[in-house]
Amino acid sequence: MEVLYRKYRPRKFSEVVDQDHVKRALTGAIQRGSVAHGYIFAGPRGTGKTTMARILAKALNCENREGVEPCNKCRSCREIDEGTFMDVVELDAASNRGIDEIRRIRDAVGYRPMEGKYKVYIVDEVHMLTKEAFNALLKTLEEPPSHVVFVFATTNLEKVPPTIISRCQVFEFRNIPDELIEQRLAEISKNEGISITPDALRFIAKRASGGLRDALTMLEQVWKFSDSEIDLETVQRALGLIPVQVVRDYVNAILAGDVRRLFTVLDEVYYSGKDCEVLIQEAVEDILDCLERDSNVYPSTPPTLVQVSRQLLNLLREMRFSEEKRIICKVGSAYIASRFAQTVESQQKTKENSQPSAQVSQEEAKTGDKKEAVNVVQSIEEKKIDRAEQEKKYRELLEELKEKGDLSILVALSLSSVSFEDSKVIVSFDSSKGMHYELMKRRLAELEDLFSKKFGKRVEVELRLLGKEETLERVSQKILKLFGQEG
């Protein structure tokens, strides 16, 4: 069976979803007979770049064009759709980066089209070409014959040399709005006899983040998974996601500063074989979704929710580079919850304090609880900035080590998870990395020098060897104690 996204590739301009500015410009040029020699179609994956390039190629070569649209019946239309038309050449620069292909194109453009009216070269992921290939391309673009049209597609416009860009007309494809994706999914579902609830469609559309190909791939995956009606839960199960109720439990536990509940949720997720990273990702997405819809699923103010999602993203980044994901997830989540509970408390204090008299004198404002509260919030903010800076320096340090540093230190650091606390760097190894831990213990002074130099101040390095899986439980208990919630 043909996959959905291929089966539903638009065959004329009017079928393309969104990207109206591109459709308008291209059809206008076709009408006026003033098609450019070079186009760049830039934009995110799966938004219609290749599709649009093929429609343009068909419109230019069609034997019975219907207004600006290709007929999709004549020989050239059919052959272009099948990829067998001699004068339309598609090249994937991601797999053919070299100069040979481009030279071949350069040598061929001089000849007239063999079958059609235009030679159309569609180069996908053009930013991947090598420098030499770009140079060869430039020569061709400088004086293109009138019967040649280049369409360069790219997901990274910023990597295309300015010399190429300046010789082309650039169209930026945009992420397709969720509602349009949802509509398209509904149309296709109806056509295919897929029975699916509106909230399930909405969920898929949202997760596709603007890409129709991804949306169709997900729809197909879900469809194969279930032969009865597809609802939100089916979608989540089919895509290996975590049920929204669990995600919300997790966020609510953070918002309430309830570490105990937090750990229960995390354990549940872990023992059901799901990934903590997915949980956090889902949590961030759900928070954003709620903010967008102005929904009051979460009992906090928008600024607070934004702050929590930012901290969750930081945690996600931290987890990505570590092997002990589970423990980092627990500690990190508990940390956010505790920090966050503090912020809530202090904000409340600030509110209470400022309520009795709206006009607090300068002097008063500088004293007492309010000042403390403001300080707490400020210091959290500063720490965040600090932390980002430290992480950046740390990444630089790893790069430097890679270039010319000590490999055993590099390897050990890469295998550990590193976190920062004021002027302390904590390097943790999980139990299977005992050897690296021992090695670093012996070279602690060197390690401290390295960090101190990079951070421009005296830095203390603390090495930790984490226990085995079973002792994770004990660590959890310790953390609970730390947060005053003994189990």
Which uninterrupted H or E stretch holds 306? helix 302-320
- CA 65, 67, 71 angle in degrees (round to 5)? 35
Which uninterrupted H or E stretch holds 89? strand 88-92
Identify which of residues 50 and 311 has a Cβ nearer to Mg ion in the complex: 50
46, interface contact from Zn ion, Mg ion, ligand ATP, none, CB < 5-8 Å by kind = ligand ATP
Number of residues binding to Zn ion, judged by CB under 5 A: 5
71 binds Zn ion (CB under 5 A): yes
Sequence-ordered list of residues with C-beta below 8 angstroms from that of 298, at least 6 positions apart, any chain: 248, 251, 252, 255, 287, 290, 305
Identify which of residues 19 and 353 has a Cβ nearer to ligand ATP in the complex: 19
Which uninterrupted H or E stretch holds 207? helix 198-207
* Interface positions, 209-228, toward Mg ion (CB under 5 A): none
User: Pattern 39-78, binding to Mg ion, x per CB under 5 A?
Assistant: ----------xx----------------------------
* Interface positions, 76-105, toward Zn ion (CB under 5 A): 77
Q: What three-state secondary structure class fits 125? A: coil
Residue 446 near residue 412 (C-beta atoms within 8 A): no
CB of 186 to Zn ion, least distance (A): 30
Identify which of residues 47 and 419 has a Cβ nearer to Mg ion in the complex: 47
| CA dist 48 → 1, 18, 23, 160, 212 (Å) | 22, 9, 11, 19, 8
77, interface contact from Zn ion, Mg ion, ligand ATP, none, CB < 5-8 Å by kind = Zn ion
Identify which of residues 91 and 450 has a Cβ nearer to Mg ion in the complex: 91
Identify which of residues 184 and 330 has a Cβ nearer to ligand ATP in the complex: 184
Residue 87 near residue 96 (C-beta atoms within 8 A): no
5, interface contact from ligand ATP, Zn ion, Mg ion, none, CB < 5-8 Å by kind = ligand ATP
Number of helical (H) and strand (E) elements in the chain, helices listed first:
22, 8
- Residue whose beta carbon is closest to Mg ion: 50
Q: What three-state secondary structure class fits 146? A: coil
Identify which of residues 3 and 365 has a Cβ nearer to Mg ion in the complex: 3
- In DSSP terms, 124 is beta-bridged to 92
Q: What three-state secondary structure class fits 425? A: strand
Identify which of residues 168 and 308 has a Cβ nearer to Mg ion in the complex: 168
CB of 231 to Zn ion, least distance (A): 42
CB of 282 to Mg ion, least distance (A): 29
Identify which of residues 120 and 373 has a Cβ nearer to ligand ATP in the complex: 120
Identify which of residues 180 and 341 has a Cβ nearer to ligand ATP in the complex: 180
Residue 416 near residue 429 (C-beta atoms within 8 A): yes
CA gap 283, 276 in Å, rounded: 10
Number of residues binding to Mg ion, judged by CB under 5 A: 2
CA gap 50, 68 in Å, rounded: 18
How many other C-beta atoms can be found within 10 angstroms of the C-beta atom of residue 389?
Answer: 12
- 44 closest CA partner among 173, 212, 224: 173
62 binds Zn ion (CB under 5 A): yes
- 430 exposure class (CB count in 10 Å sphere: 0-12, 13-18, 19+): buried
CB of 116 to Zn ion, least distance (A): 10
What would the DSSP string read from start to end of 19-39?
-HHHHHHHHHHHHHT---SEE
User: Pattern 410-449, binding to Zn ion, x per CB under 5 A?
Assistant: ----------------------------------------
Where in 268-366 does DSSP place strands (E)?
A: none
9, interface contact from Zn ion, ligand ATP, Mg ion, none, CB < 5-8 Å by kind = ligand ATP
- In DSSP terms, 152 is beta-bridged to 40, 123
CB of 81 to Zn ion, least distance (A): 10
Identify which of residues 50 and 419 has a Cβ nearer to Mg ion in the complex: 50
CB of 153 to ligand ATP, least distance (A): 6
62, interface contact from Zn ion, Mg ion, ligand ATP, none, CB < 5-8 Å by kind = Zn ion
74 binds Zn ion (CB under 5 A): yes
19, interface contact from Zn ion, ligand ATP, Mg ion, none, CB < 5-8 Å by kind = ligand ATP
CB of 183 to ligand ATP, least distance (A): 11
What backbone phi and psi angles, to 5 degrees, belong to 191? Answer: -60, -35
CA gap 401, 229 in Å, rounded: 55
- Write out the two tokens for 63: 């034997």
CB of 59 to Zn ion, least distance (A): 8
CB of 38 to Mg ion, least distance (A): 17
Identify which of residues 70 and 116 has a Cβ nearer to Zn ion in the complex: 70
- Write out the two tokens for 58: 């068909």
Q: Which residues of the shown chain bind ligand ATP in the complex (CB under 6 A)?
A: 5-6, 8-10, 16-19, 45-51, 124, 153, 155, 176, 212-213, 216
What is the residue whose two structure tokens read 């990395």?
Answer: 433
298, interface contact from ligand ATP, Mg ion, Zn ion, none, CB < 5-8 Å by kind = none
Contacts to Zn ion by CB under 5 A: 62, 70-71, 74, 77
Contacts to Mg ion by CB under 5 A: 49-50
